[in-house]
Structure 1
Amino acid sequence: MAGLDYFAVESTEDGADNYNKIATTVLQDHNLLSIVEGLHLYIDPEYPLFVATGLIRPPRAAIRVSDVGNVLVQDGKATIAVGDETYLAAMLAMLWNRIGHDNVDQPDRFTVIISNVAIPKDLENWIVIDPAESLFKDLIYAIQVIAPEGFKVRRENYGSDRFSYAASENTLPAEDVDRIIADRFTLMEEELR
């Protein structure tokens, strides 16, 4: 799959091609190809069991107020001269949440003024968006879309550079699922070396 360094679909029955197409489409639609380095899907329709294991690349750096615009503090007010409108809405929401809607004014699309409050010394370093915060939620949602419908018993795990997802109609025996997940991570790591 374009964007992934490793991608495999392992199934005990035919249908791997369908999961390949589904996974490709879902990861592209959710803009996760740049984040996911490797993905291994294991499907056992007999059990039934669906397991996804993945390695992720480090997420983009957090977007800070200083990335959105230049901050000038003068006469007890802070003026943010917006240079990049991409994250303006997110910055406004964050400012309203942290210092109150009444203390934030936007007279035009390129200016945000903070007044009536003590201006924090670290205002320009405040995080507007941290991509790492929503990454796990986005990955798990995408994997749920890829997984077969009706699998209500789920187990999700996320670490600094990897994630796993197991789903079934039946109870998931921990030792079997742990072994399957560990084996798939080993396969990916060996292939990526």
Structure 2
Amino acid sequence: MATIEKFVVETTVEAEIGPYRKIVEDVLTDLGMVGRISRIRVVIRPEETLFFMVATLRTVLPLVRVSDIAEVSAGKAEGTVLIELNEEKPLPTLLGLLWDKYGRNSVDQPERRTLIVNTGDSVEIDTIKEMVVDDPHKTLKANLADMAIRASPEGFRVRYHSLNETDFIFVATEDQMKPEWIEEANLLLEELKRDDVDGSSS
């Protein structure tokens, strides 16, 4: 876990600090999140059925557009656009986007990394270039929520989470969610960012 600047696990049951830390480490590794997180703090209060996870993230990657992964130009036939992909990985996502916008019958794939789109009367090169193939922020938010849910104790099914730029907070409980717990999570995050919390560097 050497790439995480600060990794802190706190619980009112001291004997459970090591096991909880191992659980969080394993989840971070399994989801490939170690390189995305700068600092993380987990607080568990079993007697109150409360679980907090707060984290600061490294810079979120920008949107990936078609122009980032392919050459886009006018096709040979009138009203068509030629897309030549640099790699195959984003192909399924791109096909889905093109099918949604133009219809399946308007998209041909003469070669594995070549698509020809019939856009009708107008050649929509710029429109296709600007299509978003991947939103890392959206993917990251889903992965963070999955990470926190996996790390939280079983039965803590009432949950709140948010991702604001590079700040993530997560609260889980067995009881009805209280606004003061969300406020406390924000305070835990601010302390983590200010170094107002002790924890071993990982």
Q: Tell me if TM exceeds 0.5.
A: yes
Q: Give the corresponding residue for 1:186.
A: 190
The alignment status of 1:73 with 2:74, answered yes or no, reads yes
- Residues 3-59 of structure 1: CA distance to partner in whole angstroms, max 9, x if unpaired? 322210011112111111111111121122222221100001111211111112232
Distance in 2, Cα, partners of 1:61 & 1:116 = 27
Q: Which runs of 5+ in 2 are unaligned?
A: 197-202
* Matched letter for residue 82 of structure 1: L
- Residues 52-85 of structure 1: CA distance to partner in whole angstroms, max 9, x if unpaired? 1111223222221122221121432111122222
Distance in 2, Cα, partners of 1:173 & 1:64 = 40
**Alpha-carbon shift at residue 116 of structure 1 (Å):** 5.0
Q: Give the corresponding residue for 2:107.
A: 104
**Alpha-carbon shift at residue 98 of structure 1 (Å):** 1.8
What SS does the aligned partner of 2:142 have?
helix
Distance 1:130 1:172, change over 3 A: closer
Within-5 A mapping of 1:14-53: 14-53=15-54
Q: Give the corresponding residue for 1:115.
A: 118
| Contact 1:40 1:54 (C-alpha < 8 Å) held by counterparts | yes
Distance in 2, Cα, partners of 1:116 & 1:167 = 48
Q: Give the corresponding residue for 1:127.
A: 132
* Matched letter for residue 167 of structure 2: R
The alignment status of 1:159 with 2:164, answered yes or no, reads yes
Which deviates further from its counterpart, 4-13 or 108-117? 108-117
Distance in 2, Cα, partners of 1:180 & 1:148 = 19
What SS does the aligned partner of 1:27 have?
helix
The alignment status of 1:88 with 2:91, answered yes or no, reads yes
Distance in 2, Cα, partners of 1:185 & 1:92 = 40
Structure number with greater CO (CA < 8 Å, separation at least 6) is 2
Q: What number of residue pairs does the alignment pair up?
A: 191
Distance in 2, Cα, partners of 1:91 & 1:64 = 10
* Matched letter for residue 52 of structure 1: M
What SS does the aligned partner of 1:46 have?
helix
* Matched letter for residue 162 of structure 2: N
Distance in 2, Cα, partners of 1:38 & 1:124 = 36
What SS does the aligned partner of 1:171 have?
coil
Distance in 2, Cα, partners of 1:130 & 1:33 = 19
Distance 1:26 1:64, change over 3 A: same
| Contact 1:67 1:84 (C-alpha < 8 Å) held by counterparts | no
Distance in 2, Cα, partners of 1:64 & 1:157 = 25
RMSD: 1.8
Q: TM-score, normalised by structure 2?
A: 0.86
Q: Which runs of 5+ in 1 are unaligned?
A: none
What SS does the aligned partner of 2:71 have?
strand
Q: Give the corresponding residue for 1:6.
A: 6
